[in-house]
Chain A
Amino acid sequence: MKRTLLQIFFLGIGALVVAGGCALPFLYPTQTLWYKTGWEKAVLQTGHLFGVFAFLALVLQLLFGSRGALLERAFGVSLVMRLHRANGQILPLLVLCHMALVLLPEGLANLPLGLTFWPEMVGGAALLAIVVQVVAAQVRQRFSLDYRRWRSGHRWLGYTVLLLAAVHVLFVADSFASGLPRLALLLLVGMMALRLVYRMVSSRR
């Protein structure tokens, strides 16, 4: 009974966060959408939606990876780890879709590269780090690398990706410059930071 309640709690919270995330590009559209019409607008908005999905998948990935006691009690260790692996493979695809759909309407010959577009570059670095994470996880399984050493690097790079992604979102999209979207993002990142600090403190005891 208690396990079912926990499952309902987590699924309910997850559904709320996903619903809120889906509404975000429509309730708080970026100014870039003002200048797009027709299919280009639809593509750009879909790209923004994929960006939200990717960010939420990243948060979920860290939650699965951190193997919280409550989460494990609700779904079991095996399922949580299976979800972590599956989500880890979906995540780069979501980011790639986000990138392609956002860049396409501006033209692939007109990419936002260089220091002027540093928030976009930070997003690119986050994608690169995600790919490294996925490849490293595959390599570790295939070559049976030392688990403890790999896990430490995997964890820290995971939180680094979240930091990069948060900086990317905060500075690339004017929707996150103020108001509810900014608050929600900072709250989400803050909660993950607290989770990390808690884990570090509890592992030292």
Chain B
Amino acid sequence: MKLLQLAVAVLLVAVLGGSPLSAGARTWQIDPAHTNFYFTVDHIYSKVRGHFNTYSGAINFDPQRLGESSFSFKIATDSIDTNLAKRDKHLQSADFFDAGSFPEMTFASTKVVDAGQGRYDVHGTFTVKGVAYDLVLPLTFAGVKEHPAMKGKEVAGFNGTLVLDRLAYKIGDGKLYKLGVVGKDVEVLVTIEALADK
């Protein structure tokens, strides 16, 4: 009798454990070649664009299971790239990111909310220069489909833009903003392709 109970229990674990209903939100692997964190900031009259070359992240997402969905990212501050080595070095200095003391900025979601029309507001904690701030990252879910170039894989896409006041996050002390050289509002584009087995 005990053997039968054990067999039933094993069967239940095998069936339910492997089903999507019990697995929580689906885990997606970030495709680093097609994911990035871009930014644009004013410089007197022009716009300076840049991105970060080194980052990592973890995505668990299922539109049907937002309670179990999560996003987290780690961005290496010394990987900032604006196509000008000297400027990048200055951005890594204590004047801006202070990459020596704060090598990473992170975002860890606390909840994902359906904002309608394919947009999901990812609420979380954004930690920059050692200080944690609440931040809402609005991501538009582009969808999920079979990867056109990778057999057996599915690809999910997310895009989101937001404007961050860099001075609110102590990225700069405001002198260059007051001088009219570097703007304070930074347009951020988060664009993600993530992969999962079919």
Contacts and interface: CB of A to CB of B under 8 A. Distances in A.
B179 A112 contact: no
Contacts, number: 31
B100 A106 contact: no
A2 B175 CA distance: 58
Contacts of B94: 107, 110
A34 interface: yes
B179 A110 contact: no
B95 A35 contact: yes
A110 B100 contact: yes
Interface residues of B, number: 16
A35 B96 CA distance: 11
A117 B84 CA distance: 10
Interface in B161-192: 175-176, 179, 181-182
Interface string A101-113: 0000011011010
B25 interface: no
B92 A110 contact: yes
Contacts of A106: 89-90, 93
A32 B100 CA distance: 20
A35 B176 contact: yes
Contacts of A32: 86, 90
A37 B179 contact: yes
Interface string A65-100: 000000000000000000000000000000000000
A116 interface: yes
B90 A112 contact: no
A54 B101 CA distance: 33
A107 B179 contact: no
B99 interface: yes
A107 B95 CA distance: 9
Interface string B4-28: 0000000000000000000000000
A107 B100 contact: yes
Contacts of B92: 110
Nearest to B90: A35
A106 B94 CA distance: 8
A34 B92 CA distance: 17
A116 B94 CA distance: 20
A194 B55 CA distance: 53
Listed residue (B85, B179, B182) with the most chain A CB atoms within 10 angstroms of its CB: B85
B89 A34 contact: no
Contact of A35 (B85, B99, B100, B181): B181
B100 A109 contact: yes
Given A37-B175, A37-B179, A107 B86 contact: no
Interface string B72-110: 000000000000011001101111000111000000000
A35 B179 CA distance: 10
A109 B95 CA distance: 13
Contacts of B90: 32, 35, 106
A109 B181 CA distance: 25
Interface in B84-139: 85-86, 89-90, 92-95, 99-101
Question: Lowest 8 CB-CB distances: which A-B pairs, in order?
Answer: A109-B100, A116-B85, A110-B93, A37-B175, A107-B93, A106-B93, A107-B94, A112-B89
19 contacts: A32-B86, A35-B90, A35-B95, A35-B181, A35-B182, A37-B175, A37-B176, A37-B179, A106-B89, A106-B93, A107-B100, A110-B89, A110-B92, A110-B94, A110-B99, A110-B100, A112-B85, A112-B89, A116-B85
Given A106-B93, A107-B93, 18 more contacts: A32-B90, A34-B181, A35-B176, A35-B181, A35-B182, A37-B176, A106-B90, A107-B94, A109-B100, A110-B89, A110-B93, A110-B94, A110-B99, A110-B100, A112-B86, A112-B89, A116-B85, A117-B85
